[in-house]
Chain A
Amino acid sequence: MSQAAAAGQVRLPGRPAGALAGLRACLRAEWTKTRTVAGPAWLLAATAGMTVAVSVAVIAAVRCPAGMACPVDPGRLSLTGVQLGQAMVAILGVLTISSEYSTGMMRTTLTAMPRRSLVLAAKAAVLTGEVIMAAAVGVLGSVLAGRLIMPGHGFTAARGFAPLSLASGPVLRAACGSVLYLALIALLSLGIAALVRDAATATGIVLGLLYLAPVAAGFITNHHWHNRVQRYSPMPAGLAIQATRHLASLPITPWGGLGVLAAWAAAALLAGGLLLRLRDA
């Protein structure tokens, strides 16, 4: 095939020219790869399942006893499961490219589709699509759990906690934003995996990047540094999108926070794509 490409004139039947057509072919190839192995399906199911499970567990644990002020953001609380769901998404994002390196499949892929940035773009697109589907299930389940359980735990309308509803703007933003958050985490993982290739190392880096910031923030007493960590690290900044009240007290605006995460994901993808082109597979 590479000889055919080098000749420049031989065109295989059923393989139209053009970048768009190339992208379509890449997308089809990636989609076939994803749906024909069991791993991604399990991970997507785990993303939705664990998001809902942790959300339900946390919602069930939190009560607002009579006579106590409850400075709780119901939207953020009912979407707590995203903090575990993102770990599943991270595995999925990492394995999208790392498993090809570990099995040697990458060489086949790049022989079939020599335009490497196109391969990464196709992987990113397929990954984003499937993660959005799974995340939507997990997030909707979490919001539903919050709507059903929280009023029985003292979070009543009389005390200023209207039942969670996607019809309310902030809740809709938190829900859609959480889905986008998980998609961006997947892209960040894909970019980092393209950088370091090894699945375990990439997973370690992604999860370290995500989980260490809130741990470090807990130990930093300096107000300025605490704020900086909350504003510029992917997890605390990205999860600002889950806030549904007291937006003024947030270290970063909801969409601004998601933007910070998007910048992290874009940087990782860019660096990963660059190295993919520069390095031998």
Chain B
Amino acid sequence: MTTITPYRPAVQAGRDGFGQLLRAEWTKFRTVRGWLIGLGVAAVVTVLLGVLTGGSNDIACATGPGSPVKHGRACLPPPPPTAPGGQPVRDAFYFVHQPLAGNGSLTARVTSLTGRYAAGQGPYPQLTTPGLQPWSKGGIIIKTGTKPGSRYAAMLVTGSHGVRMQDNFTQDSAGLPGLVSAVSPRWLRLTRDGDTITGYDSADGAHWNLVGTAHLTGLPATVQAGLFAASPDHTVINQNFGGGESGTSDPSQATAVLDRVSLAGSAGGAWTGTQVGGGAAAAAPGRFQRAGDAFTVTGSGDIAPVPPGDGNGLGPNITIERNLAGAFAGLIAIAVVAALFITAEYRRGLIRTTLTASPRRGRVLAAKAIVVAAVTFMAGLAAAVVAVAAGNHLAAAKGFYLYPVTGLTEVRVVAGTAALLAVGAVFALGMGALLRRSAVAVTAVIVAIVLPYILVVASILPVGTADWVLRLTPAAGFAIQQSVPAYPQVYGLYTPNGGFFPLSPWAGFAVLCAWAAAALGLAAYRLRRRDA
């Protein structure tokens, strides 16, 4: 009897780990020249479309009624004051103040807030029409100084948003609702304790409610405390289809009547009236009158952030996401590559080899998703960095005002654009695995992500419907590119046309992720149930 030894190959069996699977998929990806070219094309068109749309823009503005249109830097307004956070702000109001050294407290009762505005724009607007703006404001304020952009905390009554506590231009919290009048006055109080300023309101001067707390780091020992009034421009928004564009904007003025003013602490000197900032002051100069402890303060302007867009006084301005419009083009190229990453296997029959080598099908799909997402993210990140750098350089050279954002926001917008492309790639991969036909999968992805955006920005849909489209469709993911939030304390038009999405950046991105996860999950289910 001879013993038969089974044949044992010298080569060791490959390990069945997930790492091995990832490596196999990565090898497939990097060895197909067309896919690498596609990835390169995606990066290039992302940069090119962004730079071309930005680069085609030119500054042209009329400096006044009847004056010729000028080009270039000739007509740029002076740079605006900025908040401690770096945002451009409007800081113009009439301030009746006196210095307050150290800790202390300021209390006043507002009995009336009225306003006037100019209806119809003219070269010399007359403030003849009575009426308040939604964010006309009057109240008490503690401010570092009278320099525009300096730190502050204020308790105020508004035209139609009740009592608010606002600080450092972007913070806003609500107090008592309702309009102020002689029969329903509002008591306001600000208390300084070190760097902390606390705001209270009361309807009767006896029962006080905490409205908010502001931490003004580095507040000097002596601050200016007092009363103020401001009223932003009367803005008429033509609410037509697709939100239209904002309409006319005319100067306005608010008058606040405050009494029982008391300043507790080491305050000294008399009440002084100062016009802080410029703006509409020339058309409607601020003033105050005093009778005992009662003050009537009249002022124009606003203490608020300036959102990006046209007609906000910043002159020609762009946000950083304007340079990333090319993500739409990149997404189309990425969708092609990612869909082919799976459909090409079906076309060539390679999928049978793949699934023989790695029979756990869900893991194959997961490995593919990870590889395509990682590769796309890297390419997208490089493209986004270049596009933002080139676009900002181009815009600065032309004299555009670059809307400043914090470093963290910039990282979120740039990396978010790369992540958007990566999740788009996973979505395309899932659709490719689900449909198995590359042309259909590519079309499905492009139509799902790009078409809703077009229908919304092309001003076909009314505002409400457009918002829902951008909440539910994968196009919601582009919210990750929005660098400046919509400020509820500034009346204006916040539409997708102007770069404002209905969902917050991360919520919108999550919607896209949900679509991608659904496509991938369905694809994994079908991959297991169906023969390859």
Contact = CB atoms under 8 A, between A and B. Distances in A.
Interface of A: 58, 61-63, 68-72, 77, 80, 83-84, 87-88, 90-91, 94-95, 98, 102, 198-204, 207-208, 211-212, 214-216, 218-222, 225
Given A200-B336, A208-B329, A90 B455 contact: no
A62 B241 contact: yes
B36 interface: no
Contact of B53 (A70, A214, A220): A220
B213 interface: no
Contacts of A208: 329, 332-333, 446
Contact of B442 (A62, A71, A200): A200
B457 A204 contact: no
Interface string B331-360: 011011001100100010000000000000
B497 A58 contact: no
A200 B343 contact: yes
Given A200-B343, A204-B332, A204-B335, A80 B450 contact: no
Given A198-B34, A207-B443, A208-B332, 20 more contacts: A58-B455, A58-B461, A62-B460, A62-B461, A63-B462, A72-B241, A90-B443, A91-B439, A199-B437, A200-B442, A203-B336, A204-B335, A204-B446, A207-B442, A208-B333, A215-B453, A216-B325, A218-B497, A220-B53, A221-B57
Contacts of A88: 443
B56 A83 contact: no
Interface of B: 34, 38, 49, 52-54, 56-58, 239-241, 322, 325, 328-329, 332-333, 335-336, 339-340, 343, 347, 437-443, 446-447, 450-451, 453-455, 457-458, 460-462, 465, 497
26 contacts: A61-B461, A62-B462, A68-B239, A70-B241, A71-B240, A77-B460, A91-B439, A94-B439, A98-B439, A198-B34, A199-B438, A199-B439, A200-B343, A200-B438, A201-B336, A201-B340, A203-B438, A207-B442, A211-B332, A212-B328, A214-B458, A218-B457, A219-B325, A221-B57, A222-B58, A225-B57
B446 A58 contact: no
B325 to A, nearest CB: 4
B244 to A, nearest CB: 8
A152 to B, nearest CB: 16
Contacts of A70: 240-241
**Secondary structure dominating the interface of A:** helix
Contacts of A204: 332-333, 335-336, 442, 446
SS class, residues of chain B in contact with chain A: helix
Contacts of B328: 211-212, 215
Max chain B C-beta neighbours (<10 A), residue from A95, A200, A219, A221: A200
A229 to B, nearest CB: 9
Contact of A207 (B332, B347, B455): B332
Contacts of A63: 462
A211 B333 contact: no
Contacts of A199: 437-439
A232 B130 CA distance: 50
Contact of B460 (A58, A69, A95, A98): A58
B56 A220 contact: yes
Given A203-B439, A220-B56, A222-B56, A87 B339 contact: no
Of B38, B57, B447, B462, the most chain A CB neighbours within 10 A belong to: B447
Nearest to A72: B241
Contact of A91 (B443, B454, B457): B443
A88 B443 CA distance: 8
Nearest to B344: A200
Given A62-B461, A84-B451, A200 B439 contact: yes
Contacts of B49: 212, 216
B329 A212 contact: yes
Contacts of B461: 58, 61-62
Contacts of A222: 56-58
A95 B439 contact: yes
